[in-house]
Amino acid sequence: MKNLPNNMKKIIWLIIPFVLLTTRVNSQNKLWTFQQCLDTALQRNITVNQSRLTNELDKVNLEQVKANRIPSLNANANEGLNLGKNVDPTTNSFVTQAYHSTNLGISTTFNLFNGLQNANTIRQNRLNVEAGQFDTEKVKNDVTLNITTGYLQVLFAYEILATTKSQAAATAAQVDRTEKLVQAGKSPESDLLQIKSQQATDNLAIINAQIQLDLAKVTLMQLMEIPISDHFDIEVPALVEPSSTELLSNEAIYKKSLEVMPQISSAALNSQAALVAMKVSEGARWPRLTLGGSLNSNYASSRMQGTVVNPEGYPFFSQIWDNIGQSFSLGLSIPIYSNRQIKSNIDRAKINEMSARLNEQNTKNVLRKSIEQTYTDLKAASKKFEATKEQLKAVEAVYVNSEKKFDVGVMNATDFLIQKNNFTQSQSNLIQSKYDYIFKSKILDFYQGKAIKFN
C-alpha cells in the first residue's frame, strides 16, 4: 500500500470496515434450516460420539480375536557371565574358568484345535460390531427426534408471536376508532378505558410470546450443542397444513418399524452374540491341540577348537552356526476338572443368552407400545385439529359481527372484548392443535423409516 496514491489509500480504508461489517452482519443473519440443525447436533452430540467410539473398540476387539488364528512368533536372546564351576552350554562339560555365553532362539506356537473357541469368538465379536453400529443409529434417532421437537417448538412460538402481534394491531386500531367515537359522543369513555386495558394486555402477551420464542431457541441451540447466541435464528419453512389422510393400521406400521428401527436389529444381534458366547464357553470342554516349534543356538567363550595340545579360539558366528538346533512339539491338553470354572462359565452364558432374548422381546414391546400410543395420539390430534378449525370459523364469525356492532356503538366494550378474547384463544388453540398434529405425524412417519423433512 506504500506505493498507492493517497486517494486510493483512503478508498481502501473506507472499504475495509464496510466489508468487515457486512461479513459480520451476514454471519449474524444466518438462518438455520432443519437439516443444518440436525447435522450440527449429530456431529457435536456427546452421546453419539461416545457410541461411535464404543463401536471402534468393538472393531479393535474383532481384529484382536482374528489375529488369534495366526501362529505366534517370539525371538529371545540372552547374554550371561559365568564364574566358578559351570556347565558349558555348547559342550555340556564342566568348566572352572570365567566365560560369557550367548543364547539365541526363535519359537512359534499354533493352535490346531480348541473346541472352535476362536471361530465362535470371532463370530461373537462380529455380531457385537454390527450391533454397535445399530446402537449408534439408535442414538442418532433419539437426537433426531429431540431436534424435531425443538425445531417445531420454535416454529410454534413464531406463530404464537405473530398471532399476538396481529391481535395487538387490531386492538390498536380499535383504540383509534373508540377515541374518535368518544370524542364524537357516540361511545362512553369507559369503553375507551376498557379497550386501552385490552391493548396493555395484548402488549404483555407479545412480550410473553417473545420470551417463549427466545426460550425455544435456547433449547434448540442446547440440543445442537452450540453456544447460545442472540443472533441465532431458523428458517421458517412453508409448512403444509396437515390433512386427514388414510393411515395404515398400527399393526402394519409396527411390522414396518420392525424392519427399519435400529434398536430392533441391535437387540436381535445381541441375542445372537449371546448364543455364540454360550458356544464359546462350551468349547472349553473340548481337548486342545497345539503345535510348537523352535530354532535355537548358543555361544560360549570358553569353548575352543583344534587339539588339546594346540587349542584355538572358536569364533562367535562359527559357534552360532554350528550349534543351531531345531525342535518340534505336538501338545494335547484334556480338561478333566477345573474347579467347576467351565461349568459355571457355561451356566452364566446360558443365563446371559436368556436375558438377551428377554431384552430383545422387551425392545419390541416398547416399540409396539410407542407406536400404539403415537397412533392413538395422531388420530386424536387429527380430530382435534379439524374441530378447532370449525371452532375458529364459528368464533371468528361471531367476532367479526361483534366488531361491526361495537364500531357502530350497538355493543359495549365488555361484550366485545369477551368475543375478541374468545377469538384469540381459538386462534391459539388452532396453532397448538396444528403443531401437535404435525409432530405426531412426523413421529409416526419416522417409525416407518421415513426421513423427517420440513421443505
pLDDT digits (tens, 9 = 90+) for 311-363: 677 888 888 887 888 999 999 999 988 888 999 999 999 999 999 999 999 99
The whole-angstrom separation of Cα 291 and Cα 294 is 11
Q: What is the pLDDT of residue 159?
A: 93
User: What cell was used for 298?
Assistant: 548358543
Higher pLDDT, 375 or 27: 375
Say whether pLDDT at 22 is over 70: no
Angle at 222 between CA 219 and CA 228, to 5 degrees: 95
The number of angstroms, rounded, from the C-alpha of 64 to the middle of its chain's C-alpha atoms is: 26
Of residues 317, 147, 127, 171, the one with CA closest to residue 221 = 147
Model's pTM, two decimal places?
0.82
pLDDT at 54: 95
- What pLDDT band is residue 14 in, cutting at 50, 70 and 90? very low
Average pLDDT over residues 446-453: 90
CATH for 33-70+114-286+335-447 is 1.20.1600.10
Strands (DSSP E) contained in 20-92 are: 31-32, 72-82, 86-88
Considering 91-95, 197-201, 303-307, the range whose residues carry the highest mean pLDDT is 197-201
* Weakest-pLDDT range from 23-32, 121-130, 294-303, 389-398: 23-32
* Cell of residue 171, nine digits: 386492538
Percent with pLDDT over 90 in the chain = 58
Which of 191-200, 262-271, 397-406 has the largest mean confidence? 262-271
Q: What's the pLDDT band for 272 if we cut at 50, 70, 90?
A: very high
Report DSSP state, residue 285. Answer: G
Q: What is the mean pLDDT of residues 362-378?
A: 95
Question: How long is the chain?
Answer: 455
Identify the pLDDT of residue 229. 92
How high is the pLDDT of residue 353? 95
Instruction: Report residue 8 as a C-alpha cell.
Output: 486510493
Statement: residue 308 has pLDDT above 70: no
Model pLDDT, residue 352: 95
Question: DSSP letters of 79-141?
Answer: EEEE-SSEEETTTTEEE-S-EEEEEEEEEEEEEEESTTHHHHHHHHHHHHHHHHHHHHHHHHH
In this model, does residue 234 exceed pLDDT 60? yes
| CB neighbour list of residue 158: distance below 8 Å, 6 or more residues apart | 213, 236
pLDDT grade for 184, boundaries at 50, 70 and 90: confident
In the chain, count H helices and then E strands: 10, 10
For range 20-41, the mean pLDDT = 71
